[in-house]
């Protein structure tokens, strides 16, 4: 089901009434699991079987990790569980990219053969499933997530408000709320409906109205530089209000059921540097990348070059997570290089860094630069310029997010008057 449809609205309204007024507290977990299965099956029934099987495998591997006595066996189970998750993600989301890339290489080498690209339909929310499952396995391995029942894990995996567009949940936080359900409060409905209506307005009034202005992306060769600049800024508005709108609907839907899930956006376009932007854009993903990718790669331990390398790798994989196309990788590299450059800039200006330079913890003393620049009007001018420059950097980066690499390079050349 798509959030901004009458089907979802009717489904949510009926389930909320049944959940609070017909289902005993001891059976609410079962009701949530049933709702998740119905929600997911409505999209594509076969994929429900896949997700259920994968959930059973992950839960079983988690149990084996927990029960394994020696560390080497724990690591072996962890590695196997993550490998299964990544294999499913690779097959459904990235196999077509791999085959298409191989065919392109064969063509460039003038080889007279290639592979047929399979018509694979990607399961709804697969990337979110995989990231939550990996988080679960890693945290069970670390001992920070304690398993309970298969039912509770199933509710975590198939909690329908977060299936479409996140936010990416953390198991222990969700489990605590599931095991200690609150009593009904009218405040749940007031806050939840408010967030849902806000999300619908963001999506349908603001984001969708930007479609008229981004049409130059469809044929950049016929567009002027001014039209392309307008399209860039329009898309910046569209993607923020579209994505944050969906997050609002998800958060509001969960709140109607008494659950609090992680906020995903915190005015990211109003931040004074690229580091702060990533701390406040898609927060659940940024923190996941920090905890389960950047830090395992080595984080900011070691030399500055080593930390910047880890940042660039993390952001490239972040880009690939967003979509199975090379332009998303370029978009990730663009931000990775921006973050590395910002880290280098701060290192040159300060004796040492106090924070990581990766999404979710990027920050290097937010206002240090403005404090050094002075006070009063000059300070605010520097802060305003920094915010504007960050917004421009992010907006130009969206060109790679929405266009293929060839068209993206053409658009950049055109808007900067290089052609």
Please tell me what DSSP assigns to residue 31: H
Residue 297: partners with Cβ closer than 8 Å, 6 or more residues away: 310, 313, 314
Q: What phi-psi label fits residue 404: left (phi over 0), alpha (psi between -120 and 50 degrees) or beta? A: beta
Token pair 């029942």: residue: 149
How many residues are present in the chain? 419
Measured distance CA(124)–CA(162) in Å, rounded: 11
CB–CB of 11/196 below 8 Å? no
107 classed as catalytic:
no
User: Which residues, at least 6 apart from 15, have a Cβ–Cβ distance to it below 8 Å?
Assistant: 31, 35
Distance CA 318, CA 322 (A): 7
Question: What Rg do the C-alpha atoms of the chain give, in angstroms?
Answer: 23
Residue closest to 397 by CA, chosen among 384, 382, 415, 383: 415
**Virtual torsion, Cα 269, 270, 274, 280, nearest 10 deg:** -80
DSSP structure string for 247-309: HHHHHHHHHHTT-------S-GGG-SSHHHHHHHSSHHHHHHHIIIIIHHHTTT-S-HHHHHH
Please pick, among 47, 180, 322, 406, the residue that the annotation labels catalytic: 322
Q: Which DSSP state fits 183? A: P
Query: Positive or negative CA dihedral for 397, 280, 325, 314?
Result: positive
DSSP 8-state assignment for residue 144: S
Rounded to whole angstroms, the Cα distance separating 252 from 161 reads: 8
Catalytic residues: 322
């Amino acid at each position: 089901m798509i959030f901004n449809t009458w089907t979802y609205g009717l489904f949510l309204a009926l389930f909320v009434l049944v959940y609070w007024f017909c289902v005993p507290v001891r059976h609410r977990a079962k009701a949530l699991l049933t709702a998740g299965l119905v929600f997911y099956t409505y999209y594509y029934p076969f994929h429900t079987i896949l997700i259920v099987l994968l959930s059973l495998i992950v839960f079983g591997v988690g149990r084996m990790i927990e029960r394994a006595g020696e560390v080497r066996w724990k690591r072996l189970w962890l590695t196997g569980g993550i490998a299964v998750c990544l294999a499913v993600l690779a097959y459904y989301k990235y196999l077509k990219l791999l085959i298409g890339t191989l065919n392109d290489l064969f063509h460039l080498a003038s080889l007279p053969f290639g592979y047929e690209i399979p018509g694979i339909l990607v399961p709804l929310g697969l990337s979110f499933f995989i990231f939550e499952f990996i988080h679960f396995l890693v945290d069970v391995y670390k001992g920070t997530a304690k398993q309970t029942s298969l039912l509770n894990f199933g509710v975590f995996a198939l909690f329908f408000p977060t299936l479409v567009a996140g936010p990416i949940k953390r198991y222990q936080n969700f489990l605590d709320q599931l095991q200690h359900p609150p009593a009904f409060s009218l405040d749940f409905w007031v806050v939840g409906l408010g967030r849902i209506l806000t999300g619908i307005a963001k999506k349908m009034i603001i984001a969708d109205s930007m479609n008229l202005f981004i049409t130059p992306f469809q044929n950049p060769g016929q567009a002027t530089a001014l039209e392309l600049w307008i399209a860039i800024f329009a898309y910046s508005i569209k993607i923020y209000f579209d994505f944050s709108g969906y997050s609002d609907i998800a958060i509001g839907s969960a709140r109607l059921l008494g659950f609090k899930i992680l906020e995903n956006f915190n005015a990211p376009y109003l931040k004074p540097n690229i580091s702060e932007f990533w701390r406040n854009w898609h927060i659940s993903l940024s923190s996941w990348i920090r905890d389960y990718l950047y830090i395992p790669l080595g984080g900011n331990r070691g030399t500055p070059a080593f930390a910047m390398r880890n940042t660039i790798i993390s952001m490239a994989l972040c880009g690939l997570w967003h979509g199975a196309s090379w332009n998303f990788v370029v978009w990730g590299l663009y931000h990775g290089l921006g973050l590395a450059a910002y880290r280098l800039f701060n290192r040159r200006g300060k004796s040492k860094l106090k924070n990581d330079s990766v999404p979710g913890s990027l920050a290097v003393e937010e206002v240090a630069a403005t404090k050094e620049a002075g006070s009063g009007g000059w300070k605010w001018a520097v802060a305003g310029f920094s915010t504007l420059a960050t917004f421009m950097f992010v907006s130009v980066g969206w060109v790679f997010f929405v266009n293929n690499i060839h068209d993206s390079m053409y658009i950049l050349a055109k808007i900067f008057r290089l052609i």
